[in-house]
């Protein structure tokens, strides 16, 4: 992918923005001849095990009492941070990119990537859109799913949304914010951290619009508080078609996210105060922690120095590796499909009542192929910006740096014939 070639790659996105589709090849076919694509899809579907139905009967009740957070605290911490940053990102983007038809294009060439570190308390258009949407009665047929996938609505509080997390004084719609901001409101943020302003018309707490705040980093402790309320302000694009607000279209790649008091309140229920303090090495050179940065202490590599006893308690006392300590784990930028997945996962989960991510991902993969060019373009463009910003944030970073960080299984068996249909599902 030559996305970064050609003089820095940020001169024009017009060229490479279409590359993904040409690369895919089948995209054009799919558009011109949906029949074949649908036939292929149908072929796939016909062989699928309708796990969703099986699950729905047995797991509907389970969903309410969805399995508690059993993951490692470190991962939860990471996720919490990611989600929080996600929300923040959306908030930021909401201020930056108001309501383009295809937001990917309008902000293609925002030259100043430092704007990525805008900080404000606004709510992203996408999130705000969710607030307006009503969750459709879900038709889990494939075709309906395809249509639904283009509707960035948020489910009726998919089971990803923690029920216990919206405190009474948090806006009731807070959990609707985004597809996966399950950690966004996990608690009761201190009121002083939510400098909301009640909208005189709606009475809904609103945080100042980005234009009303200093959009730039660094976040002062006070400014940080402005991110506290995800329902900051109302969306301007009331009559916009749903598709005009792509799930990821407004996201800014890497938001300003400081592990601050707000964050602390978000994670304090599960993490020790030590943990909520951003590890120094996870800070960007600007002092801005990056969601792609995963502290070794947080990740797998135990750090001996700055870990609280609770951390030690949950992490095996393996002797720390010094070299790894020095290098924070910088995640790969998300590709277009990953961005799409993050946006649509909750929706698919809500629609299909599936729980297993493998099954969800299968559906998402099919839906991804069902997207139109324009819709995919938005994600390709977002991904391109992600990579672009990532390369600017971490000039020396290489995907190779992460090789071996994660113990990967050997996918020795890649048989042509699908061995098990266990994970093949149909929604």
Partner DNA sequence: CCACCTTTGAAGCCC
Partner DNA sequence: GGGCTTCAAAGGTGG
Residue closer to DNA (CB basis): 148 or 196: 148
* 8 Å CB contact between 4 and 391: yes
Q: Please tell me the distance from the alpha carbon of residue 149 to that of residue 368, in angstroms, as a whole number.
A: 9
Binding mask 175-214 for DNA (x = CB under 7 A): -----x-x--------------------------------
Nearer to DNA, 194 or 388 (CB): 388
Binding of DNA by 404 (CB under 7 A): yes
Looking at 91, 185, 282, 300, which residue binds DNA (CB under 7 A)? 300
Give the one residue of 115, 362, 370, 426 binding DNA; rule: CB under 7 A: 362
Q: Is 355 in the site for DNA (CB under 7 A)?
A: yes
The footprint of DNA on residues 153-172 (CB under 7 A) is: 160
In degrees and rounded to multiples of 5, residue 216 shows phi and psi of -100, 155
Give me the helix-helix angle, 34-46 and 142-149, nearest 10°.
Answer: 120
Which residue's entry shows tokens 């607000």?
245
- Residues comprising the chain, all counted: 427
Smallest distance from the beta carbon of 201 to DNA, in angstroms?
A: 34
Q: Give every CB contact of residue 153 below 8 A, 6+ residues apart in sequence.
A: 129, 130, 133, 134, 135, 136, 242, 347
Contact between 400 and DNA (CB under 7 A)? yes
Q: What's the Rg (C-alpha) of the chain?
A: 21
- Give the range of 132-140, 203-211, 250-258, 349-357 binding DNA by CB under 7 A: 349-357
Which of the ranges 31-39, 110-118, 208-216, 377-385 carries the binding residues for DNA, by CB under 7 A? 377-385
Q: Which residue has the tokens 């299984």?
A: 409
Residues 242 and 153: beta-carbon distance below 8 Å: yes
**β-pair type (329-330, 293-294):** antiparallel
Per-residue mark of binding to DNA, 319-338 (x: CB under 7 A): ----------x-xx-xxxxx
Distance in angstroms (rounded) separating the CA atoms of residues 188 and 204 = 17
Structure tokens at 23: 């690369």
Shortest reach from residue 169's CB to DNA, in Å? 25
Find the binder of DNA among 45, 314, 321, 373 (CB under 7 A).
314
CA distances from 399 to 31, 215, 332 (A): 33, 31, 6
- Helix 373-393 × helix 336-352 angle, to 10°: 130
Residue-wise DSSP of 171-189: -TTGGGSSSS-TTTS-B--
Q: Within positions 112 to 151, which residues make up the interface with DNA, using CB under 7 A?
A: none
Regarding 53 and contact with DNA (CB under 7 A), the answer is no
Taking CB under 7 A as the binding criterion, the range among 34-42, 101-109, 197-205, 415-423 that sits at the site for DNA is 415-423
Residue 186: count of CB within 10 angstroms of its CB: 25
Per-residue tokens: 264: 């602390």
Q: State yes or no: residue 22 binds DNA (CB under 7 A).
A: no
Work out whether 392 is an interface residue with DNA (CB under 7 A). Answer: no
Chain residues that interact with DNA, rule: CB under 7 A: 1, 3-4, 20, 23-24, 66-67, 70, 72, 79, 82-83, 160, 180, 182, 300, 314, 316, 329, 331-332, 334-338, 341-342, 345, 355-358, 360-362, 364-365, 368-369, 376, 380, 383-384, 387, 398-400, 402-411, 413-414, 418, 420, 422-424
């Amino acid at each position: 992918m030559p996305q970064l070639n050609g003089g820095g790659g940020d001169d024009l996105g017009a060229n490479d923005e279409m590359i993904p589709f040409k690369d895919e090849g089948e995209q054009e076919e799919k558009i011109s001849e949906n029949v074949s694509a649908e036939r292929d899809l149908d072929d796939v579907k016909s062989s699928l095990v309708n796990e969703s139905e099986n699950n729905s009967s047995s797991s509907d009740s389970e969903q309410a009492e969805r399995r508690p957070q059993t993951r490692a605290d470190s991962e939860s911490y990471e996720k919490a941070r990611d989600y929080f940053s996600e929300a923040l990102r959306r908030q930021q983007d909401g201020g930056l990119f108001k309501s383009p038809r295809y937001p990917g294009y309008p902000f293609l060439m925002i030259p100043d990537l430092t704007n990525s570190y805008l900080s404000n308390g606004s709510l992203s258009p996408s999130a705000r859109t969710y607030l307006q949407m009503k969750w459709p009665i879900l038709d889990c047929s494939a075709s309906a799913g395809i249509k639904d996938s283009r509707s960035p609505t948020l489910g009726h509080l998919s089971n990803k949304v923690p029920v216990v997390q919206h405190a009474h004084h948090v806006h009731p719609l807070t959990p609707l914010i985004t597809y996966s901001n399950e950690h966004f409101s996990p608690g009761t943020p201190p009121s002083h951290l939510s400098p909301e302003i009640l909208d005189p018309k709606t009475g809904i707490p609103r945080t100042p619009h980005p234009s009303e705040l200093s959009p730039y980093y660094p976040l002062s402790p006070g400014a940080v508080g402005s991110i506290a309320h995800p329902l900051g302000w109302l969306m301007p694009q009331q009559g916009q078609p749903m598709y005009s607000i792509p799930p990821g279209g407004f996201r800014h790649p890497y938001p300003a996210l400081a592990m601050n008091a707000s964050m602390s309140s978000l994670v304090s229920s599960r993490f020790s105060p030590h943990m909520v303090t951003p590890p120094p090495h996870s800070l960007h050179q600007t002092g801005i922690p990056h969601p792609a940065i995963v502290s070794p202490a947080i990740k797998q590599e135990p750090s001996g120095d700055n870990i609280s006893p609770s951390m030690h308690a949950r992490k095996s006392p393996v002797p720390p590796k010094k070299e790894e300590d020095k290098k924070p784990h910088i995640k790969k930028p998300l590709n277009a499909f990953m961005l799409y997945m993050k946006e649509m996962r909750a929706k698919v989960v809500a629609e299909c009542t599936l729980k297993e991510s493998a099954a969800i991902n299968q559906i998402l993969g099919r839906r991804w192929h069902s997207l139109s060019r324009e819709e995919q373009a938005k994600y390709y463009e977002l991904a391109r910006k992600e990579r672009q910003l990532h390369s600017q944030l971490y000039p020396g970073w290489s995907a190779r740096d992460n090789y071996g960080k994660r113990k990967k299984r050997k996918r020795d068996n890649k048989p042509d014939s699908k061995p098990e249909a266990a994970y093949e599902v149909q929604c």
